[in-house]
Amino acid sequence: MTAQMFFIGFFGLAAVWFGVVVFRTFSMVRSALALLFSQTALGALFLTMQAEFLGVLQIMMMATEMSIMAIFMVMFMMDPGGLGEMEMTHQKRLSLGTGIVSFLAAVAVAVFVDWGPVANAAPGAAQQTVDLGLELLGRSMLIFETAGITILTAMIAATAVSINKPLDSGIRRNDGKGKASKRPANDEH
Amino acid sequence: MTTVLLLLLLAFGAYLVAVLENWTTCGRFRLAAPVLAGIALLGRESILTRKPDRIFFEVAPVLLLLSAVLAAAVVPLTPNLIITDLATGALFINAALVYVLVALLMAGWGPDGAYAMVGGWRFLGQLIAYSMLIVMPITAVAMRAESLFTTQIVISQAQLWNVLYQPLGFVLFFIAAMALAFLPPFDLPTAKGELAGGVEAEYTGVRLAVFRLGRLALIITLAAATVIFYLGGWQGPWLPPWAWSAIKILAVTATMLLAGRMMPRIREAHLLAWCWKLGIPLALLNIFLVGVLVLVFP
């Protein structure tokens, strides 16, 4: 029990610390990866609280998401490498206020809500996965799963349709007649 | 005890992969070559680039090795020879292997070198194409086993191996595993010919040794994962379970290394297009087919 408490504290502090690091660096990529490790620490926190499925899921999802976020930030921001000491904080007064208010709200919810009797033991990991599925989806399981697969298929189809067939030279453009025309890359002038 | 034994086995597996990988280039001392190369690397000076991102630069090789080892922790070699049998085993392998992407991103960004950075971003592009192809076949495997326990997945193949039950999934997973381990022809991030080593380019000495060890461990871990997901794990006639595991893992590793040698490197744009237009739809089809099979023949 003490080991569990220790690790809960450790990963909790790690999550907060990496969250702080996000705003302390001057580099986009460092900031994105600090956010990733903050989320990973949260996943580890779930694991120490014996919520195995949630923990592993959190750890798995965040890595890809944050990496993709990093590539987008580098693509769209000026000074991605942080060589010019880019500031990571924006709208300081508003965000400070929002941060304090939401922190107080979260603490209030944690303290004042009646959570019911304290559980002495967690159910087995496999049982948890089943319970979680039933809790989230209930008897609408089939509908949700069908909808999920449909949305996924639609997303993949949209992406696949929007990829032009790669060419060996030149840029492919759509000439408006539903047929892409092949032109040399430097035909701007 | 089991943990130590399995870590030693993983190290030995990495050694075998290194021997196999350089079989044709090492001359007479093939069996000693990886060890000698490792010792040489350890003795060499570690050179830093001019303005590296120190944390990323140092952490990346360790993270690569760590994710391979963590993924190996839930791979059973015999019914009892497993470090920890998690209720979310199949998912956990995924979760650990996703950090290979983070490690290569860090290794690409860290040293502040053009080749390394191009290599890192290339791997990200490659994984945008292939990470879904890793997960979706595993979903189909878990559907058949009705469990995420890796041991349960192996036991579910007692009658018929998954390679015969869902051959499409096997092919997709195999290709995706090769892409994840950046083996040729998917070695875009390290491309020796065009990027001078890519993400490896600025690494020297101990750091390079750890990076290479991590990559070898990754290859053997992925081969082991392929075996437990599709080739019936430890199961087989006459021989004891551990022997079957060893034979299958080595066979898969050799096939991975050999298949890569026979193909030219694939360009990033082609990779993305092929994967999104062909690979992922086929993976969805695989899930559908397996779903029907599971429902019709329970």
Q: What is the pLDDT of residues A28-53, one digit of tens each?
A: 788 888 888 999 999 999 888 888 88
Token pair belonging to A96: 């400070």
Q: How far is A54 from chain B (nearest CA, A)?
A: 10
Query: What is the predicted pLDDT for the residue at A167?
Result: 47
A167 contacts A91 by C-beta, under 8 angstroms: no
Q: Phi and psi at residue B193, in whole multiples of 5°? A: -70, -40
Contacting B with CB below 8 Å, chain A residues are 27, 29-30, 33, 36, 52-53, 56-57, 59-60, 63-64, 66-68, 70-71, 124-126, 128-129, 149, 152-153, 156, 159-160, 163, 165-166
Length, in residues, of chain B? 298
A85 is a domain residue: no
Residue B122, pLDDT > 80, answer yes
Nearest beta carbon to residue A71 from set B86, B124, B284: B124
Query: What is the predicted pLDDT for the residue at A81?
Result: 58
Mutate to test the interface with A, among B88, B127, B149 (most CBs of A within 10 A): B88
Tell me which residue of B169, B124, B157, B177 sits closest to B228, measured CA to CA: B157
- SS3 for B83-151 is CCCCCCHHHHHHHHHHHHHHHHHHHHHCCCCHHHHHHHHHHHHHHHHHHHHHHHHHHHHHHHHCCCCHH
Contact B284 A160 (CB under 8 A): no
State which of B24-33, B193-202, B208-217 shows the largest mean pLDDT: B208-217
B70 versus A74: the higher-pLDDT residue is B70
Token pair belonging to B219: 């290859």
A186 is a domain residue: no
A99 is a domain residue: no
Distance CA B204, CA B48 (A): 8
- Tokens 């093939």: give the residue: B30
Residue A88, pLDDT > 80, answer no
* Other C-beta atoms lying within 10 Å of the C-beta of residue B223: 26
ipTM above 0.85, yes or no: no
Residues whose CB falls within 8 Å of the CB of residue B115, separated by 6 or more in sequence, listed in order: B195, B196, B197, B198, B201, B202
Query: What is the predicted pLDDT for the residue at A169?
Result: 45
Q: How far is B39 from chain A (nearest CA, A)?
A: 33
Give per-residue pLDDT as tens, B140-184. Answer: 998 888 888 888 888 888 888 888 888 999 999 998 998 888 888
Query: What is the predicted pLDDT for the residue at A5?
Result: 87
A141 is a domain residue: yes
Q: How far is A108 from chain B (nearest CA, A)?
A: 33
What residue ranges in chain A does DSSP mark as E strands? 171-174, 180-183
* Other C-beta atoms lying within 10 Å of the C-beta of residue B282: 18
Query: What is the predicted pLDDT for the residue at A13?
Result: 93
Query: What is the predicted pLDDT for the residue at A188?
Result: 43
A170 is a domain residue: no
Total domains, chain A? 2
A10 versus A129: the higher-pLDDT residue is A10
- Tokens 């956010």: give the residue: A35
A71 and A4 in a common domain: yes
User: What's the distance, CA B204 to chain centroid?
Assistant: 23
Q: Is A158 exposed, middle or buried (0-12, 13-18, 19+ CB in 10 A)?
A: exposed
- Mean pLDDT score across all residues of chain A: 79
Query: What is the predicted pLDDT for the residue at B19?
Result: 80
Query: Domain boundary residue among A53, A78, A103?
Result: A78
Residue A27, pLDDT > 60, answer yes
Q: Phi and psi at residue B13, in whole multiples of 5°? A: -60, -45
User: What's the distance, CA B153 to chain centroid?
Assistant: 19
Distance CA A57, CA A53 (A): 6
Distance CA B120, CA B199 (A): 6
Encode burial over B44-72: b for 16+ CB neighbours within 10 A, e otherwise.
eeeeebeebbeebbbbbbebbbbbbbbbb
- Tokens 């921001």: give the residue: A77
A139 and A73 in a common domain: no
Nearest beta carbon to residue A59 from set B95, B101, B149: B95
> Which residue of chain B comes nearest to A126, CA vs CA?
B87
Q: Does B91 touch chain A (CB under 8 A)?
A: yes
Q: Does B285 touch chain A (CB under 8 A)?
A: no
* Other C-beta atoms lying within 10 Å of the C-beta of residue B104: 30
A72 and A134 in a common domain: no
Residues of the domain holding A30: 1-78
Amino acid symbol at A27: S
Amino acid symbol at A186: N
Q: How does residue A189 score in pLDDT terms, banded at 50, 70 and 90?
A: very low
Amino acid symbol at B13: G
Contact A166 B121 (CB under 8 A): no
Q: How far is B92 from chain A (nearest CA, A)?
A: 6
Residues whose CB falls within 8 Å of the CB of residue B239, separated by 6 or more in sequence, listed in order: B247
Q: Phi and psi at residue A127, in whole multiples of 5°? A: -60, -40
A172 is a domain residue: no
A108 is a domain residue: no
> Which residue of chain A comes nearest to B54, CA vs CA?
A30
A62 is a domain residue: yes
